[in-house]
């Protein structure tokens, strides 16, 4: 999730920024969930002339093709190959449930990752990488890591404050700590620390943190943040 998405989620918890058109009763919920069906009118077939010997093809059976058989030069119809039954040797597609489970797991893992901060962090490490050894000095890597750890909550607050100012209504900046998007600031910082620690050029890479440990740290952190979100998210002070 980007920082802009986190700021939007935090703005939704303010009582003075409730979205318009929220359903108030069961009828409103039903109208919002189930829109009115669209009825399409089909063109009527042209009328056949009186006394015509033209035969009408029978309606196609379910599971068969509606294509008419071609005719030979003499006028005799060429029989088509019999249609394969529905349960025949058809191509078997992958079950959609497995794909949906993988997509849901990836979405949970990447929910609170501040993509903008992580992209800047990777760009800084690439700029500091030595041309000969293709490694980043441990002191420089630690300094960049600490800088982005401190800057991530500030980035979230700045985006949130900018969204409030551009929303209209003469709203002031959220200077009081009670008006801060505290959960988004904490979750973004924690998620960034977990993801950045598992990168190859992080200050913790090497014997102190194997790649498997870094991946496990990412999974555990993302899972805990997802479980803790409903507990710590509260309405923000207007």
- Find the length of the chain: 238
Q: What is the dihedral sign for C-alpha 177, 110, 115, 120?
A: positive
| pLDDT at residue 211 in the model | 66
Name residues whose C-beta falls within 8 Å of residue 145's C-beta, 6 or more positions apart in sequence: 121, 196, 202, 203
Q: What is the mean pLDDT of the chain?
A: 73
| pLDDT at residue 88 in the model | 47
User: Full-prediction pTM beyond 0.85?
Assistant: no
| pLDDT at residue 92 in the model | 42
pLDDT digits (tens, 9 = 90+) for 192-205: 888 888 787 778 77
Angle of CA points 9, 223, 180, to nearest 5°: 30
């Amino acid at each position: 999730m980007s920082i802009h998405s986190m700021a939007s989620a935090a703005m939704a918890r303010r009582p003075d920024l409730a979205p318009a058109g929220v359903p108030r009763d069961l009828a409103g919920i039903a109208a919002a969930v189930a829109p009115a069906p669209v009825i399409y009118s089909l063109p009527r077939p042209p009328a056949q002339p009186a006394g015509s010997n033209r035969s009408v093809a029978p309606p196609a059976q379910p599971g068969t093709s509606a294509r008419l058989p071609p005719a030979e030069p003499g006028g005799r119809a060429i029989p088509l190959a019999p249609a394969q039954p529905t349960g025949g040797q058809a191509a078997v597609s992958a079950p959609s449930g497995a794909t949906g489970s993988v997509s849901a797991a990836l979405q949970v893992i990447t929910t609170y990752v501040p993509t903008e901060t992580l992209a800047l962090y990777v760009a800084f490490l690439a700029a500091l990488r030595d041309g000969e050894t293709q490694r980043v000095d441990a002191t420089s890597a630690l300094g960049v890591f600490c800088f982005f750890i401190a800057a991530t909550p500030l980035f979230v607050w700045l985006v949130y404050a900018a969204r409030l100012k551009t929303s209209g209504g003469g709203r002031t900046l959220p200077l009081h700590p009670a008006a801060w998007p505290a959960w988004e600031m904490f979750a973004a910082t924690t998620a960034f620390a977990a993801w950045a620690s598992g990168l190859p050029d992080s200050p913790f890479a090497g014997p102190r943190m194997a790649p498997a440990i870094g991946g496990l740290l990412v999974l555990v952190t993302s899972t805990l943040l997802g479980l803790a979100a409903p507990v710590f998210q509260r309405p923000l002070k207007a």
